[in-house]
Structure 1
Amino acid sequence: MERGCTLFVLVVLTVSSLVDGQEGSCQPGTFGDYCSYSCNCGSSCNSATGVCAGACDDGWREGNGSLCQKENVAYGKQVSGSGDYSNSWTAKKAVDGNRDQDVTHGSCYHSYYYPTFWWVDLAAEYRIHSVRIYNRAGYPHRLANCSISVGPDSNSETVCYTFPSNRKDIPDVIDLTCNGIGNFFIIRNPGNAPSQDDTLNICEVEIYVCSKGTFGAYCSEFCHCLNSTCDHATGKCPGDCSPGWMGNTCSTQCTNGTYGPNCLKKCDDRHCNGTSSCPPVYGGCTTGCEKGWARPDCSDCTTGFHGPECIECGHCATNTTCDSTTGECGSGCLEGFTGLQCKESVGNGSSVAGAVVGTLLLLLIAVIIAVVVFRWRGKHSSSVRGHHAVFNQKERQKGDDNVYMNVDVDTFPIYATPNVKAQKQSQGYRHS
């Protein structure tokens, strides 16, 4: 059990570290955000800053207390020239990494045919900016008036740099700026150098491009472009910044309670489960999310919830969930439920309606019974009062012999019963 708990804690800490965009320690030879940069100086660089303690690897420049992020993209690439003066002075000598400028040591290119040229295929399109050329020592005039072109093929004639015509202005090691975009880098000698010497003697050509994510004269500044890289000269990103960064060069970290791509998300809009820090990269909630909200930043609904408030989905069909916006179950409902969101029980609607109708009918019957009873009681009371009034009137109008006297038709209702005995005596009297 203790082993399982330890493993669980390790996994949680690892996930948390990745979510927050923080790296504890990079593997040797890497450094920076998510350990995504290579040291290019063996394993001697600092895992946080990338500064190299020793020299750079072949094909890289600077080092020894600085970064090694300036790459020579010409190193070891395919080359060609206007003939090789000897097998010791071939075109590939200019990209073999040997900067020895003594031609007798077999480290330089010496052309043979005229007009003379030399080119290197960089194998990919580059935005070229910084170039260093090691000329044959003591022969600067052989580069006078030469031109450099950059383009998509070896015939490109888009000139990005022209060497001075005065040999005194051409040092043995030349650092120059060539602003161009292309796969091919071409040096041409037009044949109008002093003494008409149009031979090419070059010992090494280094074309420097900053590694992905760096820019500046020494490739020591960092940009953080989203799914792309910045211009290695200006540092400008072609699109959005990576999460946690903002600005034209995407080199400013999010501040003031913001996070995410271009720092457009607000920490206060998250639905963390309690108080949490807000890392600038993904804004992950270290305390977890409220119910219905998904990690890392608790700003979107987790599976099974929908809408702006992340309400729980209804009873969608097995192994499916509702639309995260509308909450509708596109694949249907589980048995026993209905409706677009599958939140209504089958029969619930008719049962409620039946109950309502039944209640109304009972109320109606009760009202009818009450009315009938009320009217019956009213009629009965009137009949009793009328009967008592007539009976009292009769008592006053009959004589001692119980014979009704001078009873008017209006005062003697037809339903009153006459004194039978008095009638018989009266009849007998009249017939005698």
Structure 2
Amino acid sequence: MLLAMALTLWSSIFLIIKVGYCYVNLSRKKGTVASQSSTHEGAFLASRSIDGNKGQTYRECSHTALGHSIAWFQVDLGGEYSLESVKIYYRNDANWCPYRFRQFYLDVSNGSAGSTTTLTSQRKRCYKDNTTALATPPSVIDISCKETARYVIVETTYNAQEAIYLNLSGPVLEICEIEVYGCSVGRYGESCSRCHGCSTCDIISGACQCGVSFFGPNCSNACSVYCKGNLCNNVTGSCTNGCEIGYYKDKCKWTCNPGCKNGCNRNSGSCDNGCIDGKYGIECYDVCSVGCISNCERMTGTCMCKKGWQGEKCRECSPTFYGPSCEEECSPHCYNGTCYVNNGSCIDGCTRDYTGDKCTQGLYETSPEDHGTAIGAAVGASIFVVIAVVVGVVTLRLRRKRDDSSKAQKDERKESRIKYEKETTYVNRQDHSLPGKDHSLPDSHVHLGKRPANLKTQEIGLYEIMDSGNGENKTYENDVIAKTVAPVTNTSNDASEENGNVYLVINESQLNSSHYDELHVQN
């Protein structure tokens, strides 16, 4: 008996060394329990799969019942363990291929198969078979499964066509043996050595397996706050679920250009979703011109221009506009209509009749500086006119007063005037004949002096003295009393020249009725 036990022990050691596994087969440890969704004929129990017997015949395997919509098999390890791999031995009779094993999947979880459903956050999938008829998966399969879990679950919903032909339909699992390899949490490697610097580590390398938001050999590095869900790889720190909007690269520490619309490419940082309004370029760094009517083209920046702008990207002022925003229009009096962009000065000078840098001042217009002078002159002229009007009114009143006084002394004044004229102009009222002539004469003759002999006629005018008051400036006005007479030859002894004398015939009645002060001759 003792010999048999010793042989069994050494056989186990030999098999472990032979196969190369030094990880613990957790399926065989004390406290491990196997269970399944149903049991065929009540006799093919799940425990057959963890009894150490690797035979693959019908009688050596566990077997779920026919006619169900799902079949599952699970190993409860009794607590969390660091798993390395799972090895499954499936039924493989000489005349019975493992066609029911198609499309199974292997999950691990901290919840049992009965309390969890596939593809939820409570399960992690280690493997999914994609074999289709007529092919079959291998009857012995070794699956890598580096996870930390309590339950190992094999599950299927596949209904094999071969079984339907035999009236044996429904998903069925026929697992003969299952081996789950790993170590206790906090250990790693084939010898299940203790992890260094952390409570849990990679089952193969011993690298620390950090909790949420930490990574590195000793889990001392925090994941980037821009990792989605604050989750990153325990070893590298790469963000597991990608980056928050606006960040990129493995650890999401690079900032996307704010010109990107809805973030940027995780790897390159390019703006895959385009640019926000007003930006263009691969990474949306370039700014559309203010001269664009609306947004510019995403890659080139070309656009339709506002009034006053020109060019493909509307970055230049049109020739007839100037200013920082190209909103000021050159003067219409610029020659060719063009001006300098910076200050609006006309490039080719001004058109006719205009001057100035911007050709806005007419040649015959007063400048703004002259307006004050013009206004002062106008005010002065107005004051002068007012004064003149006042003086005129006063003068008129004085004249009327003088005229009234003159009327009272009319006869005396006329007589004295005639006497004065007799003295100065040789007026003769008594002699009624010219020397050598015998004809009737008017009341008076005015001797005008000697004139050239060939003068046939001469216009004589009476003028009124318009005295300014100081006796210096006099103006004479024509009167209708002027007469035209023929020259008369003087045969008197006192004639000293050959030229004849000219006389103006003036009736006494005309002289008396005139209001003029003096007589003057216009030669």
TM over 0.5: no
Task: Using structure 1 for the length normalisation, give the TM-score.
Answer: 0.37
